Structure formats: structure tokens, C-alpha cells
Structure 1
């Protein structure tokens, strides 16, 4: 990815030093319309895969959160064959009811310089880590001001919100609430009331979970969504099929 960004970075370096430009819209003598133009790249906007391409930081696995970095609590689930991220409550305000007695301090955010320092310590054997989460050093660090920016990367709201809503609906619609997901609850010691049990005939089953909506609640939610939907995006026949 850096090979595609190198021409842009070279131009941004020139704009940081300043280039001579002409103001064609100014009503002044021609010799007075020249000025020195400066510009910077304030931040980049992308989805999560784009963040990995641009920054060189991992967005999946045990180092899947570039902001948390080394403070991320991740654990691999053998039931789901994927990585789970734990201890989210420590990022909530101290007076938040969902903290549930968690007294951990909010960990500091990690910058690209922090990742480079951590990677250097790993290479020197000072830190017993397999991976720092830094796949490569981004070419954007060649910009003289990049490491001093408070915000370097922004998530695309359309993609991020869409992914959150999609996953939320899949959970409450029981699209991803399978036996393996309940076994993962047992594996991590979470939600004991939702653990699978064995019926009298020897078949393993899962009890109703509090996060799964009933048929009545699903229809009520769909009616509310259809009431606010635009006819240009949802045909009346489709609306009837959803509610029915």
C-alpha cells in the first residue's frame, strides 16, 4: 500500500514547506496575486480494513484494536475458532452502571510512535511479546508533522455504524446465537443462565437468552421500522411481508 501513497506523501512534503500559487479569483494586480500555499493532511477516513492498509496496524486477532494496543484483553475461543475481546467495561465512565464494580483505569491510547517503540523493545528482547500489532511502519510517518497530530485516522461512520447495527440485529434475531456461541459462554465463564444443557433424550439444547427478541418483539420492531421507512426504499408489499 505504501508504494501507492509515496507520490502523495512527496507532494504533501512540498505543501508543508510551501509552494508558490496564483490566486485567480483575487481582484488585484497580477503581480500581487501570487502567494505561498501551505497544506497538510489532517487525517485519513476509512473503514477497519482500510485502517490496516493505511496505518500498517493490525485490526484483527489478539492485537485487533489499534487504539488499545498492548492494553487489549483478547482471548482465543476454541468453540468459535475466533478471537474474543474482553473487559470492555473499563473503557466506560466510572459512574456508568455497566461498569459492574470494575475499578480499572481507562488505559491510555497508543499512538504510532508508541507502536514503533514497543516493536523495538520486542526486537531487543525486552518485552516477551509475539506481536506488537505493527505489521509495518506507515509511509505517512515521513511527514514531518504526522506524529504530532492528535487524531491521525477516522472511521467511516457509514461503514462502522452499518457493521454495528448489522451485528446487533443478528444477535437479537438469533442469527449468530448458536450452540457454539453458548459453549463459548461456558468457556469464558460468562452468562451462566445462557449455558447449554442436556435434555432427557441426550440432546444438547440452549435456553432462551435475554438478548434474543421474541416473535412478538420482532414484529413490533419491524412495524416501527416500517413506519419510518421511505416508500422509495421499501415497497408496501415488502413491508407487509416483513411484518407478517
Structure 2
């Protein structure tokens, strides 16, 4: 069989063995390492130590670190849910739920924000493809043509990834400080008095609520734009 024009781990059948190391075990260990230590800690060597496996046995299943990341990204994409466009709210409720599900997944696995922007044509994993195809179907059913639906999926995904990247950076700072969100924000406000002058600071001093409201506001803007486009067409 001819080699695929775009090399991809999905174009190869997993190596099957009766016992010992396999692709599933490698992916599970890599995900655990990434969740515990972050993207920079992942290497074939560090993972091999966790699995008590040599380089030769590792490379039988995964060619390099990039392929490993591709496999783990698809693994966490299994957590992203895209509901059907049913009920009175239809496509908008489904798209909003998908966006929130993607955000929740990224907050559970903060390392993923460092690679989601790289996900492109070579990332053809089944879970990522399933989520994309379901959202495309939802938006296509709303009245967007295939090209518009594709752009809309990209716009929604870009908004979520951009927002959650800032969120995870802030939450990482919180974790490193050893303080809670409110406590850290209060200490920052003491140093940077201009933070107290923002409308959000005056309204409430709850950073978790502020993050949630900010995400909802931005998502509504994206969906308002899509809804206005559909209304103009109808």
C-alpha cells in the first residue's frame, strides 16, 4: 500500500500484542503526565521512564513526540460533547453547549491550550473529527452552506481557545501563588490600584464569576453574529 501523502498516526494500524506495551497504555500514561506536569515535561524519554519501557519498544507504537501529542489531543476530545439542535433554541443552544464543553475540557487539561492552535489537517483523529462533524451538521442545519459552516466552526473554536488560553494562564498563576483566586486578586489590587477602577471590580470581587460572565458575553457576540447572518438570508 502506498504511503499517505500527509504522514499521520491515524493512517497506521496500532501494533497489537498479547500483553505488555500498547498504544492505549502509552496514551493513558502520556495524558496523566501532561495533566500532572504540563506540556514541557512530555518527552519520549520521560514517558518511557514512567512506563518502564525502552525507546525501541516505545517507537514500535508511536513514531515521535508530535504523534504522541496528536493521539492525546484526540483522547481528550472524547470529552467534548456536541448535542443535537433540538428544542426551541435549536442550533444556537447546541453551538453554545459545544463551546462550553470544549472550554471545560481545556480547563480540565490546561496543557491542551498549547497545542489546540496547531490542530490542522494532519489531526484526523476520530474524536476530534466526530466533534467537528457534529457541529458542522448543526450549523449546516441552521442554514449555513458548507463553506460558511466550516468558517463558523473555526470562529467558535478560535474564540474558545483564545479565551481559555488566558484563563489557564491566570489559573496557573493562582496555583503557583498558593492562594485562592479572590485572595490573589486582592493582593494584586493592592499593588495595582487601577484594577480597582474597572467596572467589573466595582460590581463584584469574584474572579471565577467574572471569568464565567466574560466567556458568556464573548460567546454571545459570536453567536449573535451568526444569527444575524442567518436572519439576513431568510
Normalising by the smaller structure, the TM-score range is: under 0.3
Higher strand share: 1
| Higher Cα Rg, which structure | 1
Q: Give TM-score, length-normalised by structure 2.
A: 0.24
Higher helix share: 2
Q: Give TM-score, length-normalised by structure 1.
A: 0.23
